[in-house]
Chain A
Amino acid sequence: MRYLPLTPDDRAQMLGVIGAPDIDALFKDVPAAARRKELFDLPKRAGELEVERELSGLAARNRPAGAGPFFCGAGAYRHHVPASVDHIIQRSEFLTSYTPYQPEIAQGTLQVLFEFQTQVAALTGLDVANASMYDGSTACAEAVMMAQRVTRREKAVLSGGVHPHYAAVTQTIAHAEGMHIHRLPAAIDAEAAVIDAIDADTACVVVQTPNVFGVVTDVSRIAEAAHAAGALLIVVTTEAVSYGLLKSPGEMGADVAVAEGQSIGNALNFGGPYVGLFAAREKLVRQMPGRLCGETLDADGRRGYVLTLSTREQHIRREKATSNICTNSGLCALAFTIHLSLLGEAGLRQLAALNHSRARELAGALKGTVEVLTPRFFNEIAVRVPNAAKVVEDLLADGIVAGVPYSRLDPHAGLDDVLLLAATETTTSEDIAALSAALKRRLA
């Protein structure tokens, strides 16, 4: 077997050194009733060629986003990732290492994490960021739990513009910790209703911008209202490229910013692995979840990096931990950092401007055919079409993946006529023309 270096001869010699008659002797602590004599009812070993054949066959039964006009967003975005990113993350030293427990021989990973934390703090306009979370949705739930620790209050107000999956994950996870989640009704301009829902029991207010319908909001007034009530403002972003064009959460008064970082450096991957971003004001640092990398000196006075403030973590505090993340999204964070290093400030601004421009082109092309519901958007719009789910199915016949029907995310919101459409730098004018023509035809 190609992954197993021991030969039958090696095994015999090693058993001799151990003083065991056979391999079964090493499994003698397993109760006899539980020792399976027969092989499990599964296929036997296969060579590379055979495995490749099966998986390529499965992959061929999917329609990749890049195969034609494609407009899905709603929390995952198709962007172009430079070839050098994937090359670097496949280097053995990054791919086949683990959490940097021994800093002397993990400075590569640690310096990357320090760069990542600094980049995320800069993007979000906040002071400190952690070394990544599983994804944006779990980062959102963790932020709500952090607000509970900070304020010792148990109510979270969620805007109706928060991605329904994020709301569901927060409901599941933060509720397990004793939080009461007050989710406002879904609506295009849901942010307008947030301020009235804040009261003296509110630990935090969770607002997404651009929201799930694509609407960009200045949350400054919500920040003021939250702070006046002694609550934290958590700003969620599912499209990290938007940081290159829009005012940052920190500039608008957010205490915590969480985001899905997939857009930068990472492929769509059918939903995962992705990388959650988590940033906060400095005074909250000891209540933050996740790993943190900090700068220090070695015994010879040379600068280096270590994992720090680890007393927050489960391996020390056990049942009193503020964080229960062990393995998280290291390699996805590396991809994020490399891609953002390639972009730089100029490139990110250009990329964001290009995304916004494509979305303007899309909105302009569809106006007249459908009602565009999103007044101010970054790269995603909501449009009104009767039975959006059916429209999406119908347009498949034209070779077009026409976005995400909102009802797929939130079946009971009564918004069956809302279709979410995203455009990125990968969207061409031809794609937009094809969608526009097909919609016109289908709706005629």
Chain B
Amino acid sequence: MRFTKDHEWVEVDGDVATVGITAYAAEQLGDVVFVETPDVGKAVKAGDGFAVVESVKAASDVYAPVSGEVVEANGALGDAPETVNAAPEAAGWFAKVKLANPSELDALMDRPAYEAYLQTL
């Protein structure tokens, strides 16, 4: 699993990346009440907002950590947004993206680096 400074995570399986927000981000947001996932087929560019996550007190854009085409969105979050709090780095994933440029992954942090980064916040 690799991480961005904006607290998204990416898990790659073949040429498909699963994307979500980190446990730290879910904790900071508080109770998640709504998730807007991207449409399947949408082309996303690394760094662009591609999903929205809302708690009672905040609404935040989720940025695509990698470029590519959205091949699946986590529809289960529609009825159960609380999954993002319960299992942010597993069942609370947002979308799967078919990688357009796998080398983008190199720019992301591994877990020790992300945890060290959290210490600086």
Contacts and interface: CB of A to CB of B under 8 A. Distances in A.
Interface of A: 286, 310-312, 316-317, 320
Interface in B18-76: 33-34, 36, 54-59
A286 B34 contact: yes
10 contacts: A310-B56, A311-B33, A311-B54, A311-B57, A311-B58, A311-B59, A312-B59, A316-B57, A316-B59, A320-B59
A317 B34 contact: no
A13 B59 CA distance: 47
Q: In this complex, which of B34, B36, B54 has the most chain A Cβ atoms within 10 angstroms of its Cβ?
A: B54
- Chain B residues touching A, majority SS: strand
Q: Which 4 A-B pairs have the closest CB atoms?
A: A311-B59, A311-B54, A317-B59, A316-B59
Contacts of B54: 311
Contacts of B33: 311
Nearest to A321: B59
State the majority secondary structure of interface residues on A: helix
Given A286-B36, A311-B33, A320-B59, 14 more contacts: A286-B34, A310-B56, A311-B34, A311-B54, A311-B55, A311-B56, A311-B57, A311-B58, A311-B59, A312-B59, A316-B57, A316-B58, A316-B59, A317-B59
A286 B55 CA distance: 13
A212 B74 CA distance: 47
A115 to B, nearest CB: 23
Contacts of A312: 59
Interface in B81-119: none
A155 to B, nearest CB: 21
Contacts of A316: 57-59
Contacts of B56: 310-311
Interface of B: 33-34, 36, 54-59
A316 B61 CA distance: 13
Nearest to A313: B59
A311 B36 CA distance: 13
Of the candidates A286, A311, A317, A320, the one having the most CB atoms from chain B within 10 angstroms of its own CB is A311
Contacts of B36: 286
Contacts of A286: 34, 36
A310 B59 CA distance: 9
A286 B52 CA distance: 12
A316 B33 CA distance: 15
A76 to B, nearest CB: 37
A337 B33 CA distance: 30
A75 B85 CA distance: 49
B43 to A, nearest CB: 15
B36 to A, nearest CB: 8
B9 to A, nearest CB: 23
Contacts of A310: 56
A316 B56 CA distance: 10
Contacts of A311: 33-34, 54-59
A316 B52 CA distance: 14
Contacts of B55: 311
Contacts of A317: 59
Nearest to B58: A316
Contacts of B59: 311-312, 316-317, 320
A312 B54 CA distance: 10
A312 B34 CA distance: 11
A380 B91 CA distance: 58
Nearest to A320: B59
A300 to B, nearest CB: 20
A14 B55 CA distance: 44
A390 to B, nearest CB: 56
Nearest to B36: A286
A310 B36 CA distance: 15
A352 B34 CA distance: 41
Nearest to B60: A311
Nearest to A312: B59
